[in-house]
Amino acid sequence: MELVISQLCKSFDGHLVLDHVNLHLISGNIYCLMGPSGSGKTTLFHILLGLVSADSGEVKGLYKERISAVFQENRLCEAFTPVENVTMIMPSSSGNNKRKAREALKRLLPEESLYRPASTLSGGMKRRVAIIRALMVPFDMVIMDEPFTGLDEETKQQVITYIKEQSAGKLVLISTHQEEDVQLLNGIKIHL
Amino acid sequence: MNAGILRFKKAGIILFWLLIWQAASTAVHNSIILVGPLDVILALLNQIRLADFWKTIGFSFGKISLGFLSAFATGILAGGAACRYPLIGDFLSPLMALIKSVPVASFVILALIWAGSENLSVIIGFLVVFPIIYIQTIAGIKSTDRHLLEMADVFKMSETKRIFYLYRPALLPYLASSCRVALGLSWKSGIAAEVIGVPLHSIGEKLYLSKIYLSTADLFAWTLVIILLSALFESFFLWLLSLASPGIRQKKKEVGSIWNS
């Protein structure tokens, strides 16, 4: 997959958020999007996810591609368990999906937390559920908006290992404020 | 305050008002104007022994419940359809305004002319409950978290999964609170319709006869029966509704419940 973003612009209420953004992204790489708060990282992600339309510019290579995402907010269904939150977005409902979701979740979460409503989980646990959910669907590109928020160093390391393993050969676009994340991910730094 | 003391306090307050009622009845000393609680209980005990009592309860309970349940199901379907296809909402809007503004008594007379007295309480129960459920269904669906709907779009969730995982949890609290109102109203309006239409073997007929024979004790006894039936049906139905929502049951433990409030 090759994603080419050319001259992308977006403004809200007259305030220019994205000013002629140009990017060239290729599968097999992890791109770390850096920039201060308000620099338009989330807006760019929303445009790529089709949630917001750009004012001008072009995005090539997105057509029919499967995109997955970790949103800035976790966007979990709070009344449902982590297992349900993962299986609900998997293409078909089967016992096999449950088993796969359970196995994946057990890698990053304590087993007792898998069957509790998401509303009872800590912020860090919810973040991990959101990350696993994004990596459990078939995808060609995954967008992660500040995925390491609320994670301690040890957990972050586990999560990074998991992300690298599950997204091998795919296009990964991650926004972060930490320079060290770029090294841990073996990522390519992009400034917005 | 622990639960035991709270129950004792509640029982004390109820006993206080019963004593006031009994004292007022004794002071008035006229069983047509005001009967005491003891007379009401005696009248009720006399009724309970009769097979006709249970037949009457079965008739009115069946008809009013049927009116409520059909309005509940139709209200949800119509509300869902109006959200999915706004044109349906536009078409139903004047109908809802009409149902809400026309007095129940007018509907009762019309229903008597069109359908007779047999199913009067079904029709009236339906007409009273339907707009409430319809409006609350729309409000519940519209309250679904926009962020979750975007998430569903990104992950291409099927319509069935959206209904089950996203719309259902958003809708159920609205349905629970609307049912609390609608259940009481369906009983009140259903019985009122029966009093006007006087279908055979209905509670309304018994209330009407109490008026004819100036039997205030029977009137109070049947009123007590209506209150009990309404409360039982409401508790049972809200319990059934709560089963449809494991998440809301969890929330109940956390913040105290809309179901028991």
Q: By the CB < 8 Å criterion, does A88 face chain B?
A: yes
Tell which residue, A85, A68, A77, A79, has the closest CA to residue A147.
Answer: A68
Q: By the CB < 8 Å criterion, does B247 face chain A?
A: yes
CB atoms within 10 A of CB B201: 13
CATH topology for the A2-66+139-191 domain: Rossmann fold (3.40.50)
CB atoms within 10 A of CB B176: 22
Q: By the CB < 8 Å criterion, does B157 face chain A?
A: yes
| Contact across the interface for A79 and B169, Cβ inside 8 Å | yes
CATH number, residue B160:
1.10.3720.10
Indicate the residue of A51, A73, A137 with minimum beta-carbon distance to B155. A137
Q: Which residues have C-beta within 8 Å of that of residue A119, sequence separation ≥ 6?
A: A78, A79, B247, B250, B251, B254
């970790």: which residue's tokens? A70
Residues B237 and B117 in one domain: yes
A-chain residues within 8 Å CB-CB of B150? 49, 51, 71, 75
> What is residue A70's three-state secondary structure?
strand
Indicate the residue of A77, A117, A120 with minimum beta-carbon distance to B148. A77
The CA-atom distances, in angstroms, between B108 and each of A136, B48, B170, B172, B223 are 58, 29, 35, 31, 20
Which chain B residue lies closest to A133 (C-alpha atoms)? B155
Quote the CA–CA distance of B61 and B38 in Å, as a whole number. 26
Largest CA distance in chain B: 74
CB atoms within 10 A of CB A82: 28
Residues B150 and B220 in one domain: yes
User: Can you give the pLDDT at residue B143?
Assistant: 96
Range of the structural domain that residue B138 is part of: 35-255
B168-197 and B246-255 helices cross at what angle (nearest 10)? Answer: 90
Residues B169 and B156 in one domain: yes
Quote the CA–CA distance of B178 and B172 in Å, as a whole number. 10
- The alpha carbon of residue B152 is apart from the nearest alpha carbon of chain A, in Å, by 8
The pLDDT profile of chain B, 261 residues, written as one tens digit per residue, is: 678 888 899 999 999 999 999 999 999 888 889 989 999 999 999 999 999 999 999 999 999 999 999 999 999 999 999 999 999 999 999 999 999 899 999 999 999 999 888 899 999 999 999 999 999 999 999 999 999 999 999 999 999 999 999 999 999 999 999 999 999 999 999 999 999 999 999 999 999 999 999 889 999 999 999 999 999 999 999 999 988 875 544 444 444 444 443
Tell which residue, A58, A50, A43, has the closest CA to residue A11.
Answer: A43
**Number of CB pairs < 8 Å for A and B?**
54
A-chain residues within 8 Å CB-CB of B169? 77, 79
Tell which residue, B88, B95, B121, has the closest CA to residue B204.
Answer: B121
User: Can you give the pLDDT at residue A64?
Assistant: 63
B44 close to B224: Cβ distance less than 8 angstroms? yes
Which chain B residue lies closest to A50 (C-alpha atoms)? B154
Q: By the CB < 8 Å criterion, does A81 face chain B?
A: no
Quote the CA–CA distance of B250 and A178 in Å, as a whole number. 37
Query: ipTM for the complex?
Result: 0.92
A27 close to A1: Cβ distance less than 8 angstroms? yes
Q: Is the alpha carbon torsion for B187, B188, B193, B194 positive or negative?
A: positive
Instruction: Return the exposure string of B101-130: e unless at least 16 CB atoms fall within 10 Å of the residue's CB, then b.
Output: eeebeebbeebbeeeebebbbbbbbbbbbb
Quote the CA–CA distance of B124 and B204 in Å, as a whole number. 13
Quote the CA–CA distance of B250 and B238 in Å, as a whole number. 16
Quote the CA–CA distance of B232 and B157 in Å, as a whole number. 39
Quote the CA–CA distance of A91 and B177 in Å, as a whole number. 34
Quote the CA–CA distance of B69 and A118 in Å, as a whole number. 33
In a domain, B222, yes or no: yes
Indicate the residue of A69, A84, A120 with minimum beta-carbon distance to B154. A69
Residues B127 and B13 in one domain: no
- Among B147, B154, B168, the strongest candidate for a mutation testing the A interface, having the largest count of A CBs within 10 A, is B154
Tell which residue, A175, A81, A73, has the closest CA to residue A119.
Answer: A81
| Contact across the interface for A89 and B248, Cβ inside 8 Å | no
Beta bridge partners of A141: A67, A171
Domain total for chain B? 2
Which chain A residue lies closest to B253 (C-alpha atoms)? A120
Quote the CA–CA distance of B198 and B123 in Å, as a whole number. 14
A174 close to A149: Cβ distance less than 8 angstroms? no
| Contact across the interface for A89 and B157, Cβ inside 8 Å | yes
DSSP state of B163: I
Q: By the CB < 8 Å criterion, does A4 face chain B?
A: no
A-chain residues within 8 Å CB-CB of B245? 79
In a domain, B96, yes or no: yes
Q: Which residues of chain A fall short of a pLDDT of 70? A: 64, 93-95
| Contact across the interface for B154 and A79, Cβ inside 8 Å | no
- Terminal-residue alpha carbon distance, chain B: 18
Quote the CA–CA distance of A75 and A130 in Å, as a whole number. 8
In the stretch 160-189 of chain B, residues with CB closer than 8 A to chain A read 161, 165-166, 169
Radius of gyration of chain B (CA): 22
- The alpha carbon of residue B144 is apart from the nearest alpha carbon of chain A, in Å, by 11
- The alpha carbon of residue B225 is apart from the nearest alpha carbon of chain A, in Å, by 38
Residue B135 is encoded by which pair of tokens?
Answer: 């409006």
Q: By the CB < 8 Å criterion, does B10 face chain A?
A: no
- Terminal-residue alpha carbon distance, chain A: 22
Q: State residue B127 phi and psi, 5-degree precision.
A: -65, -30
Domains of chain A, residue spans: 2-66+139-191, 78-132
Residues B44 and B106 in one domain: yes
Indicate the residue of A49, A77, A84 with minimum beta-carbon distance to B166. A77
| Contact across the interface for B151 and A75, Cβ inside 8 Å | yes
- The alpha carbon of residue B243 is apart from the nearest alpha carbon of chain A, in Å, by 13
B-chain residues within 8 Å CB-CB of A84? 165
B55 close to B201: Cβ distance less than 8 angstroms? yes
Residues B11 and B61 in one domain: no
User: Can you give the pLDDT at residue A92?
Assistant: 75
The CA-atom distances, in angstroms, between B252 and each of B10, B119, B168 are 23, 38, 16
> What is residue A145's three-state secondary structure?
strand
A-chain residues within 8 Å CB-CB of B144? none
